[in-house]
Amino acid sequence: MHRSVSRSLSRLLTLPLLWASASCANQAAPPGGPPDPMPPSVTSISPDSGSVDVRPRSVVFNFDEVVAEKPARATTLADAVLVSPYQGEPDVRWHRDRISVRLPGGWRDSTVYVVTLLPGITDLRNNVLDTAATTVFSTGGPIPGTRVTGVVFDWETGSISRNALVQALVPRGRDTTLYVARSDSTGRFILPFVPSGSLLVRGIIDANRNFAIDRREGWDSTTVQLVDSAFVELYTFVHDTVGPSMREVTVQDSMTIRLDLTRPLALDQLLDTSLVTLLDADSVQVPLSAVLTVAAADSLAAAARRAAADSLPRADSAAAPPIVEPPIVAPPVAEPDVARADTVGPPPLPTPSRPIPISSIVVRTAAPLAPDTRYRIRLNQARGLDGPARTSDRTFLTAARDTSPPPPRPPPTVTPPDSVPPDSLPPTAAPPPAVPPPVAPPPRMAPPGPSAASTAGHEEPTAGGSGRPSGPVTPFVAITRGW
């Protein structure tokens, strides 16, 4: 009996604990209330930035609200924190509205630490904090005012490298202290409070965030003599012990071949016909006319197209003068009476001061290639950015001859009757003169009375007669004049 009661009590006490742990694990926005579009903000950091001769157990970032345990721009919470000098992955813990940071082995003596909470912290409504928070403190003497600034470039593409890892290796007795920073969205970085002297600055495309150089990751390094400040440009590329080779061969037309390389060529690599050898199916060398960069080949092709387009107006200029249309002038638009917003955009991205290495070349042949034929192309002693040279071969097949019939000719264009200009009509005969309308004849008139001579031999009608003359009657003839 006593044992069954004890089991029942333990179950009743366990249920609230399980419910509380489940509610803490499933983080979600609190229901109800007005919408909150504001991201969380850091209210304080312990220890205070600029503190000297302090030995904290942990660095604590305090927020004005509960934040999510997983940041938006990192896989773990430890990836959202950067500690310089680097002593291994920090121990980062989540405490609802606080984040604490500890180092394995503790904070070293007489060292200046820079602890940065990177952008990406979110609240329970997924509002992202886009700014970083940093604290600087020293476990020993004063904090120096030195710093190293610069830009990290991806040299192969000529673009900036965002979120690249920057390291400054400072000798410290038998050991080396590793100061670290990350480049921002413009490729720029700042390494503050680095001890003066000779140091090695290195930039790494640290894609897997392991703070090391992997075989397929680009990197660059330079030596700096730091007094108070220094500026460096880092040109990262994948280092290799072998030279470049052909990655892809593309036949653009019967006289143009493009070669895409696995590695960029050295800046002092000579581009001429000795760099490439082309052999036909019988191993006979095919003469080449030029080996060009892609930009130079595109420029020549564009110039040829412009020359062909310019020749067309000259041929038609003798047939008809050009038609000059009047310019279209847009009506003026009145400026609004509201105050203009600040139109100054973000600063331009930095550009590299070194030339961009060549990763593709264009080969021009002296004569058209035969269709449906296999060729072998060879890249002779191509040198990469690291210096080693390499010779590589590839084969390719040209396209077959186009045997399809030509498209049918379009039917002749028939001009509608309404569109024929009046001047193009053939001349016609003059129309006949107009005929005036006929004139009606004059009314019929009674003959004049008989004279004495004409009435001889005629009888007058009597009152009782028929009214007709009894003797012969002279007929009356009406004469009508014709027009």
Check which CATH number belongs to the domain holding 381 and give it.
2.60.40.1220
Count the domains in the chain.
3
Q: Look at residue 483 in the predicted model and tell me its pLDDT.
A: 40
Same-domain pairing of 138 and 285: no
Element housing 199 (H / E): strand 197-204
Which residues are CB-contacts of 223 (< 8 A; sequence separation ≥ 6)?
198, 199, 200, 201
Which residues are CB-contacts of 245 (< 8 A; sequence separation ≥ 6)?
261, 262, 263, 379, 382, 390, 392
Choosing from 239, 259, 286, the residue where a domain stops is 239
Instruction: Please list the residues that pair with 113 across neighbouring strands.
Output: 137
In angstroms, how far is the first alpha carbon of the chain from the final one? Answer: 153
Same-domain pairing of 229 and 276: no
Is residue 289 in a domain? yes
CA distance 12 to 15: 6
Choosing from 188, 217, 239, the residue where a domain stops is 239
Is residue 480 in a domain? no
Is residue 210 in a domain? yes
CA distance 121 to 76: 11
Q: Look at residue 457 in the predicted model and tell me its pLDDT.
A: 43
Same-domain pairing of 360 and 269: yes
CA distance 433 to 429: 12
Structure tokens at 47: 């220890």
CA distance 127 to 105: 35
The 3-state DSSP class for residue 207 equals coil
Same-domain pairing of 127 and 227: no
Same-domain pairing of 385 and 254: yes
Same-domain pairing of 136 and 167: no
Same-domain pairing of 102 and 69: yes
- HSE-CB at 409 with a 13 A cutoff on CA atoms is 3
Size of the chain in residues = 483
Q: CA 295 → CA 300, 305, 360, 379, 396, distances in Å?
A: 9, 15, 10, 20, 23
Q: Look at residue 474 in the predicted model and tell me its pLDDT.
A: 47
Instruction: Please list the residues that pair with 198 across neighbouring strands.
Output: 225
Instruction: Please list the residues that pair with 115 across neighbouring strands.
Output: 83, 135
Q: Look at residue 82 in the predicted model and tell me its pLDDT.
A: 94
Which residues are CB-contacts of 59 (< 8 A; sequence separation ≥ 6)?
45, 46, 47, 100, 101, 102, 115, 135
CA distance 425 to 427: 7
What's the domain range around 365? 241-303+355-400
Q: Look at residue 460 in the predicted model and tell me its pLDDT.
A: 46
CATH of the domain at 175: 2.60.40.1120
Which residues are CB-contacts of 177 (< 8 A; sequence separation ≥ 6)?
85, 111, 169, 170, 171, 195
Return the closest-CA partner of residue 150 out of 166, 169, 127, 130: 166
Same-domain pairing of 261 and 378: yes
Locus of tokens 């050991």: 175
Same-domain pairing of 156 and 200: yes
Q: Look at residue 12 in the predicted model and tell me its pLDDT.
A: 41
Q: Look at residue 454 in the predicted model and tell me its pLDDT.
A: 42
Q: Are strands 81-84 and 112-117 parallel, antiparallel or unpaired?
A: antiparallel
User: What is the DSSP annotation of 134-167?
Assistant: EEEEESSSPPP--EEEEEEEETTTTEE-TT-EEE
Same-domain pairing of 196 and 128: no
Is residue 446 in a domain? no
Is residue 407 in a domain? no
Is residue 201 in a domain? yes
Element housing 276 (H / E): strand 276-279
CA distance 461 to 467: 5
350 CB neighbour count, 10 Å cutoff: 15
Q: Look at residue 368 in the predicted model and tell me its pLDDT.
A: 95
Q: CA 436 → CA 140, 430, 431, distances in Å?
A: 130, 18, 15
Q: Look at residue 28 in the predicted model and tell me its pLDDT.
A: 55
Same-domain pairing of 248 and 373: yes
Is residue 385 in a domain? yes
Choosing from 366, 400, 434, the residue where a domain stops is 400
Whether the ω angle into residue 85 lies within 30 degrees of 0, i.e. cis, is yes
Same-domain pairing of 245 and 393: yes
Locus of tokens 């961009």: 356
Q: pLDDT tens, position by position, for the chain (483 residues)?
A: 444 444 443 444 444 444 344 444 455 555 656 677 899 999 999 999 999 999 999 999 999 999 999 898 888 899 999 999 999 999 999 999 999 999 988 999 999 999 999 999 999 999 999 999 999 999 999 999 999 999 999 999 999 999 999 999 998 878 889 999 999 999 999 999 999 999 999 999 998 888 999 988 999 999 999 999 999 999 999 998 899 999 999 999 999 999 999 999 999 999 999 999 999 999 999 999 999 999 999 999 898 888 888 776 554 555 555 555 556 555 555 555 544 545 566 778 999 999 999 999 999 999 999 999 999 999 999 999 998 899 999 999 999 887 778 778 777 776 666 555 555 555 655 556 666 666 666 656 555 555 444 444 444 444 444 444 445 544 444 444 444
Determine the Cα angle at 245 with ends 241 and 249, to 5°: 165
Is residue 423 in a domain? no
